[in-house]
Amino acid sequence: MLQDLRRLQVPAFVFPGQGSQRPGMGRAWRDHPSWEVVQDASRLAGRDIAYLLLEAGAGELAETRNAQLATFVMGLVVLDAVERLGIEPTACAGHSLGEYTALVAAGGLGFDDAVRLVSERGEAMQEAAEEHPGIMLALSGVDDETARIACRRADGDVWLANSNAPGECVIAGRPDAAHRAARVARELGATAVKQLAVSGAFHTALMTPAQPRLRKALDEATFYALDVPVVANVDALPHAKTEEWPSLLSAQLRSPVRWRQSVLALAGLLGADGRAGDQLFCELAPGGPLSALVRATAPSARTLAIAAPDDLDTLVATLAGEAAVAPAAHAGHEGERLYLFERLVVSPCAGLFELPPPAVAAESGEGGAGYATGAGGAGYATGAGEGTHATGAGGRPGQGAAGVNPTTANQAAGTGTAAEILPRPIAIGDIVGLVSGTEVRSPFAGELMGVLAHPGERVQPGQPLAWLRSR
């Protein structure tokens, strides 16, 4: 059943670009293990990216060299958090700058090269924007061809820059010409015009001066075979060949972003088996600007924006076909670590772990099945089979100690043989153990598959204590 779930509902990952940044967008993530990405990226870029994500104001963030680096690294933080759950995409795409994050997600770019490329791209585009000042204006209520007509009638340096969704596009160019084109667009039916929070006319001929610097950086970067296809901005086609991406990224600087067409291409990849309702687009970054564009372009698709750590629970529940657990069910619980059908109940406090008394265990179906050694932090179940668990602070799926033989573990706990007790049903609120007398209750229903701590072991807050498989 799990294989069927992955085949039908493995999502497309999409990543927003410049213009989606906002002050304080990293605050929800700074205590998450994936925040370490920020320190690594800061070292490579020679910039204080944590400052940009936590403290920088809107004006400072709008500068191209800041906006691009901050938005890109924020996307990497969210991507890292999702990858820690063992969730992988079936295809990827990114809007403008987001294309670089998409390539990292698909395995086409390494972390180091990607950070350096985005740093160079931001600096090069900042210089081009200062040499040729421009603006970008979002138009609502007109299609791409009408926007092109408005640009031609403006008789100046202004072009269609983004095709975002039906009736939603962006024009860009020199300020006077862009405003003239916007006035014509209103005459032709545009219902709204909004200037974007960017500092240049991106994806137009005004970015030509940035191309030599970016091309040099692309030539020095190493591109790898992609694990999954990435749909390119330039032609809205999926590309998996390594040698195609340097030229695509270079051309993207002065070519329109064909996002509407890219969404349709992704929907086609996701719905290749004819199940349009299984098209799930996961937007990995705060703000969620792409989700509305996806829904407008592909109404049958589902969208999910991963903007904060709490959204990871929703992602896992969505992939497992579950309704989100009601907040009341979690009252008084420290939390859980999630991986598709599997759940880890974690300790709410520090203290000595004990199994519940026999009467309580019998009532709730408690019993030990096996445990992972070296537990001491928030780990993640591997999903590889019963008795194998990843442990350690911030551990990733597939990393950690193998589970102890179930029979040995049960004998150690004094609870009988594995055949007598496993698996056992457990309901929301059932006790799975005690930590220095504090009851640890399950915030969800499922099958108890194992106990991850030794009776008498001193555990820490957040340490995994029990492994369940959700119903």
Residues 94 and 237 in one domain: yes
Range in 75-79, 289-293, 320-324 with the lowest mean pLDDT: 320-324
Q: What is the pLDDT of residues 33-74, one digit of tens each?
A: 999 999 999 999 999 999 999 999 998 998 999 999 999 999
Handedness of CA 169, 202, 263, 97 (dihedral sign): negative
Claim to verify: residue 357 and residue 385 sit in the same structural domain:
yes
- For 15-37, letters b (16+ CB in 10 Å) and e give bbbbbbbebebbeebeebbbbeb
Q: Pick the catalytic residue: 20, 34, 42, 96?
A: 96
Residue 8 in this model has a pLDDT that exceeds 80: no
Has residue 271 got a pLDDT over 80? Answer: no
Which is nearest to 65 in space by CA: 175, 213, 172, 193?
A: 213
49 within a domain of the structure (yes/no)? yes
Q: CB under 8 Å to 29, separation ≥6 — which residues?
A: 35, 74, 77, 78, 81, 308, 309
418 and 372 both lie in a single domain: yes
- Are 184 and 103 in the same domain? no
- The residue from 195, 215, 233 where one domain ends is 195
Residue 347 sits in the same domain as residue 393: yes
Q: Which residues pair with 466 in a beta bridge?
A: 345, 451
211 and 291 assigned to the same domain = yes
Amino acid found at 90: T
**Alpha-carbon span 337 to 346, nearest angstrom:** 8
Q: Is residue 270 a part of any domain in this protein?
A: yes
Q: Based on the domain organization, do 183 and 213 belong to the same domain? A: no
- Residue given tokens 């609502």 in the structure block: 140
> So what's the pLDDT on residue 358?
66
Which amino acid is it at 317? A
Which is more confident, 384 or 313?
A: 313
190 and 210 part of one domain:
no
- The domain that holds 428 is classified in CATH as 2.40.50.100
235, 372: one domain: no
| Residue that terminates a domain, selected from 319, 342, 369 | 319
Higher local confidence (pLDDT), 437 or 12: 12
- Round to whole Å and give the CA distance between 294 and 290: 6
Q: Are residues 377 and 397 in the same domain?
A: yes
Query: What average pLDDT score do residues 189-200 get?
Result: 92
- 269 and 163 in one domain? no
Q: Answer yes or no: are the C-beta atoms of 148 and 183 closer than 8 Å.
A: no
Q: Which of 167, 195, 223 is the last residue of a domain?
A: 195
pTM higher than the cut 0.75:
no
- Reply yes or no on whether the pLDDT at 278 is more than 80: no
CATH number for the domain harbouring residue 174: 3.30.70.250
Q: Is residue 261 part of a domain?
A: yes
Q: Answer yes or no: is 447 within a domain.
A: yes
> Do both 420 and 339 map to the same domain?
yes
Q: What is the CATH number of the domain that holds 275?
A: 3.40.366.10
Percent of the chain whose predicted confidence (pLDDT) is above 70:
77
Per-residue confidence (pLDDT) for residue 93, from 0 to 100: 97
| Burial class, 299, CB count within 10 angstroms (exposed 0-12 / middle 13-18 / buried 19+) | exposed
Q: Which of 117-121, 403-407, 460-464 has the highest mean pLDDT?
A: 117-121
The one catalytic residue among 32, 132, 203, 389: 203
Q: Residue ranges of the alpha helices (H) in 188-324? A: 211-220, 245-252, 259-270, 289-297, 310-319
Q: Which of 208-212, 390-394, 420-424, 430-434 has the highest mean pLDDT?
A: 208-212
Q: Which domain range does residue 379 map to?
A: 334-470
For 365-382, what is each residue's pLDDT tens digit?
433 333 222 333 333 232
Residue 411 lies in a domain: yes
Q: How confident is the model at residue 449 (pLDDT cuts 50, 70, 90)?
A: confident
User: Is 222 a member of any domain?
Assistant: yes
**333 tagged catalytic:** no
327 assigned to some structural domain: no
Q: For 246-254, what is the mean pLDDT?
A: 96
Half-sphere exposure of 12 (CA within 13 A, CB side): 31
Confidence of residue 395 (pLDDT cuts 50, 70, 90): very low
Residue 146 has pLDDT above 90, yes or no: yes
Alpha carbon 105 to chain centroid, angstroms:
9
Residue 375 lies in a domain: yes
Domain count, the chain: 3
Residue type, 219: D
203 is catalytic: yes
Query: Does residue 274 surpass a pLDDT of 80?
Result: no
